[in-house]
């Protein structure tokens, strides 16, 4: 199947009348300034490379709109999250994740990094298949039509040196070695890649970080970690180890270009310099960080220091790639008291090239040899009419996504998902109320 874009994002600018030829799921030719040929699928608006959602916890989608009434903090929200996790079986999770991933595809995401720590039964004992939850996520992604990078997370302690809380037992494999053995058994394929993660320095001590790094090396996989999301995490790390979480990762030999840290809201000047010097990447999750009161990340400073930036929807209080780009810019403006902290092209890069890079995936550009993952965004809606197409990241919303193509196959056409009816999404998501 071949495509014709009335306008497409090529090399950092919008170009008119672009024909995109596709074979075996990859782009074989990109020809600007030509009319559509018979049989081409015509895509209106502005066609962008598929977006990568670099940080997701799919089961958190079951909490949307039900945790705001009593205010509280990140830590009180976490209590509600644990209560939801306690109810999930692999079968129920498959339904919830299918809905969450489908919502992502409708919004323009063609790849997702699922930071996965819900592993076992509530008492911590494995299912008959110890990767039952991972396979449920795989099946959900296949139904939704999204590329999935499963970032299987090691989770051993509730705080440095402390055993898991009862509600955390299902997250833990007991030892880093048992976790690594289980992860190596997960069957991967072209659309389901396996990566690894250390949940955080609260949940993984310095000695076990080496096991995570070794497993990632053996699998040729990306490695992610939550970092300095809350001040309490930094304080606990200083008490236990006499340093910041970033410094602890560096002491353990974990800081490298292969590592991606998530959030980094409360990093010091020295942390910023260290992350940049080691070329570690950073995922910002602006809508989640605002929802949970995490604080404002130092993302401009991190990018200037040398870190690649990507974006994630994390707990899915909002699933809208453009809300994330505006959140990144908006928070940075509030923190710096100036406008234009990130250029629009930088915001789109965080959604596209940055996200694919940190997930270990090809993609993020409309170029020969790249996956044929395409997103068409309206430029004539009440939100986008009159906008400079180069600034679409500052005006569009998920509602403006009309078509989504994954590996050359239309998954969303005229705003309708080919496999999952909207009514089914509403039914599943409503069941968690």
Task: Quick: pLDDT tens for 204-234.
Answer: 999 999 999 999 999 999 999 999 999 999 9
Tokens representing 298 are 């130092």
pTM over 0.75: yes
Stretch(es) of the chain classified as CATH 3.20.20.140: 51-359
Of these residues, 173, 314, 373, 403, which one is catalytic? Answer: 314
- Which of the four pLDDT bands, split at 50, 70 and 90, describes residue 68? confident
What pLDDT is attached to residue 71? 77
Q: Supply the DSSP string of 318-345, one letter for each residue.
A: ---HHHHHHHHHHHHHHHHT-S-SS-HH
Stretch(es) of the chain classified as CATH 2.30.40.10: 2-49+365-417
Query: What is the arithmetic mean of pLDDT over 6-33?
Result: 97
What pLDDT is attached to residue 433? 79
**How far are the Cα atoms of 36, 220, 356 from residue 427, in angstroms, in the given order?**
40, 39, 32
* CB 237 within 8 Å of CB 204: no
Tokens 């080496």 locate to 210
Of these residues, 57, 116, 226, 263, which one is catalytic? Answer: 263
Query: What is the arithmetic mean of pLDDT over 272-293?
Result: 97
Q: Which residues contact 96 (CB under 8 A, 6 or more apart)?
A: 58, 59, 61, 62, 88, 428, 429, 432
- 189 is a catalytic site residue: no
Q: Which CATH number fits domain 2-49+365-417: 3.60.15.10, 3.90.1660.10, 2.70.70.10, 2.30.40.10?
A: 2.30.40.10
DSSP at 159: B
What pLDDT is attached to residue 113? 98
- Which of the four pLDDT bands, split at 50, 70 and 90, describes residue 95? very high
* CB 54 within 8 Å of CB 358: yes
**How far are the Cα atoms of 86, 109, 314, 374 from residue 113, in angstroms, in the given order?**
23, 11, 10, 18
Fold type of domain 51-359: TIM Barrel (3.20.20)
For residues 270 and 261, give the distance between their C-alpha atoms in angstroms, rounded to a whole number: 16
Cα angle 49, 55, 56; round to 5: 105
Give the length of the chain: 433
- Which of the four pLDDT bands, split at 50, 70 and 90, describes residue 50? very high
Angle between helices 90-106 and 132-144 (to 10 degrees): 30
DSSP at 132: H
Whether the per-residue pLDDT at 391 is higher than 80: the answer is yes
- 266 is a catalytic site residue: no
- Which of the four pLDDT bands, split at 50, 70 and 90, describes residue 1? confident
């Amino acid at each position: 199947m071949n495509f014709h874009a009335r306008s497409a994002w090529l090399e950092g600018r919008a170009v008119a009348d672009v024909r995109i030829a596709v074979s075996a799921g990859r782009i074989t030719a990109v020809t600007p300034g030509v009319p559509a040929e018979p049989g081409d699928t015509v895509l209106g608006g502005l066609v962008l490379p598929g977006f990568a959602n670099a940080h997701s916890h799919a089961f958190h989608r079951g909490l949307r709109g039900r945790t705001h009434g009593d205010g509280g903090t990140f830590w009180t929200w976490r209590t509600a999250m644990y209560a939801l996790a306690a109810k999930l079986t692999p079968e129920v999770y498959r339904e919830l994740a299918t809905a969450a991933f489908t919502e992502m595809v409708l919004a323009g995401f063609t790849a997702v990094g699922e930071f996965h720590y819900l592993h076992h039964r509530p008492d911590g004992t494995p299912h008959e298949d110890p990767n039952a939850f991972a396979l449920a996520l795989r099946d959900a992604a296949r139904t939704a039509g999204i590329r999935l990078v499963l970032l299987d997370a090691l989770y051993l302690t509730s705080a440095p040196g402390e055993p898991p809380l009862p509600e955390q037992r299902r997250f833990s494999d007991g030892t880093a070695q048992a976790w690594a053995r289980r992860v190596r058994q997960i069957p991967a394929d072209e659309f389901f890649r396996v990566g690894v993660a250390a949940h955080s320095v609260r949940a993984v001590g310095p000695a076990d970080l080496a096991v995570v790094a070794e497993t990632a090396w053996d699998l040729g996989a990306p490695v992610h970690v939550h970092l300095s999301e809350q001040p309490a995490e930094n304080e606990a790390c200083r008490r236990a180890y006499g340093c910041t979480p970033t410094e602890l990762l560096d002491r353990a030999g974990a800081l490298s270009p292969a590592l991606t840290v998530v959030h980094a809201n409360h990093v010091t000047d020295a942390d910023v310099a260290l992350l940049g010097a080691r070329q570690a990447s950073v995922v910002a999750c602006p809508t989640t960080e605002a929802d949970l009161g995490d604080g404002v990340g130092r993302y401009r400073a991190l990018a200037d220091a040398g870190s690649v930036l990507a974006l994630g929807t994390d707990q899915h209080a909002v699933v809208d790639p453009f809300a994330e780009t505006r959140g990144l810019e908006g928070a940075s403006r509030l923190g710096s008291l100036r406008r234009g902290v990130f250029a629009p092209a930088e915001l789109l890069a965080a959604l596209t090239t940055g996200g694919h890079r940190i997930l270990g995936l090809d993609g993020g550009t409309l170029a020969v040899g790249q996956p044929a993952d395409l997103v068409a965004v309206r430029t004539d809606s009440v939100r986008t009419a009159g906008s400079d197409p180069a600034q679409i990241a500052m005006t569009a919303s998920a509602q403006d996504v009309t078509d989504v193509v994954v590996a050359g196959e239309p998954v969303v056409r005229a705003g309708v998902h080919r496999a999952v009816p909207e009514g089914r999404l509403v039914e599943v998501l409503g069941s968690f109320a």
